[in-house]
Amino acid sequence: MLPIDQLIQPLTPGQVKDSIYRLLSASGLPVTSWHEGAVARSIIAVIAAIFAGFTQVIALAIRANYLDLAEGIWLTLLAYYVYGVERVEATFATGQVTLVNAGGGVYPFEAGEFICRNPTTDAHYTNASFFELGAGQTLTIDVRAVVAGAEGSSSAGQITALVTEMLSVTCSNAAALNGRDQESDPALRQVCRDSLGALSPNGPQAAYEYWAKRARRADGTIVNVTRVWVSPGSSVGHVQVYVASPSGAVDGSAGDPSTDLGAVASTIMRLVVPKGATCTVSSAVAVTVTVTGTAWVQVAANLSDAAWQTLFLQQLTMYLAEVPIGGHVLTSVPGHVFRNAIIGQVEGVSKFVIKFDPTLPAGDTSLAEGQVPVSGAHSIAVQQVG
């Protein structure tokens, strides 16, 4: 019987050809006398290419049976049909921008006709419904990112450019707009494991984590909770749960099920908390981590300073969105966002990054219970080295 590590490795066309030639040679055929370009060699090359592709499908199908090995669509199917867990798809960042018309023009737009953008990330946004901006008017409109996922997110005050030409009109966003990437393979695997804990009527930690990440709003959409902290055992039967989204806090009130935090709290109370126990569900408190400094990169990468800065911003935002509530705890509390880890994130963006020298943070950032890191206004200067 072949070990699993061999079963999940597809064969290359070269490996298939070698195997065919060995079998033919063992059968007595003079394979070494066939010159390059001979009909037999051409037929074997075609067969090898086809069979190698077939082994790739076989390897993927075998990996699809194991939670730690399945990937992509195969993991999506395994999660749904074996664990009853649906992968969270990417969402569009939505929110509002305020338009100020300092001129005399009148600008009517049907849904999707108006476009503004974030000059820092080049994320574009379009109006969700019809609006008309009159002369001298200030108007707040609903917008949605053109592209789904976290790349369509913008911090407050970053959407300041108009793509649609409107004379004497400026725009800005008072609040952040946050999109969510499709749930990653590692995150989906963890939710599948958490789902097993959710089968218990006794409220283990995994049950709290699973239902916090799978709580739904009244319209059926999943609340954007990606980080959960559950207190250790209590002598009085009380459990404290902190929840956070990729951008930090979860909006709303725990006592109002029509809000995101309330939907999470209601789900946990109904489906997890055992009789005789009590539970408090709170939003984690955001702690802003701002990264500044200088990165030295190789000119050979052929990227502009702005392109490098966008890559660094995306990597830092993604990293900080995944740091657990309370930070990384090595031996004992408090936890931290480690400065060396931030350096590693920037330097790990590309093999063309030579060095990153941060000025902020000056040291490790300590996080208390219930605190979660969020991205600040990162600013990384780029030095191109020939």
Query: What does the domain layout of the chain look like in residue ranges?
Result: 4-63, 91-180, 198-283, 287-385
Res 203: pLDDT: 59
Which range among 47-51, 137-141, 274-278, 305-309 shows the weakest confidence by mean pLDDT? Answer: 274-278
Q: Give yes or no for residue 11 having a pLDDT over 80.
A: yes
Query: Greater confidence, 113 or 35?
Result: 113
Burial (0-12, 13-18, 19+ Cβ within 10 Å), 290:
middle
Candidate CATH numbers 2.60.40, 2.40.30, 2.20.25, 3.30.70; the one for domain 91-180: 2.40.30
Res 336: pLDDT: 97
Q: Read off the pLDDT band of 1 (50, 70, 90).
A: low
Query: Span 202-227, mean pLDDT?
Result: 89
- Which tokens go with 335? 């936890």
Res 35: pLDDT: 82
| Three-state SS letters, 99-155 | EEECCCCCEEECCCCCEEECCCCCCEEEECCCEEECCCCEEEEEEEECCCCHHHCEC
Q: Read off the pLDDT band of 39 (50, 70, 90).
A: confident
Res 9: pLDDT: 85
Q: What is the pLDDT of residues 225-238, one digit of tens each?
A: 999 999 987 777 89
Q: Give yes or no for residue 356 having a pLDDT over 90.
A: yes
Query: DSSP code of 63?
Result: H
Res 145: pLDDT: 96
Res 68: pLDDT: 92
**What is the percent of the chain with per-residue pLDDT over 70, rounded to a whole number?**
98
The mean pLDDT value of the chain amounts to: 92
Q: How far is residue 321's CA from residue 324's CA, in Å, rounded to a whole number?
A: 8
Res 235: pLDDT: 73
Res 202: pLDDT: 56
Q: Which helix (H) or strand (E) holds 320?
A: helix 305-320
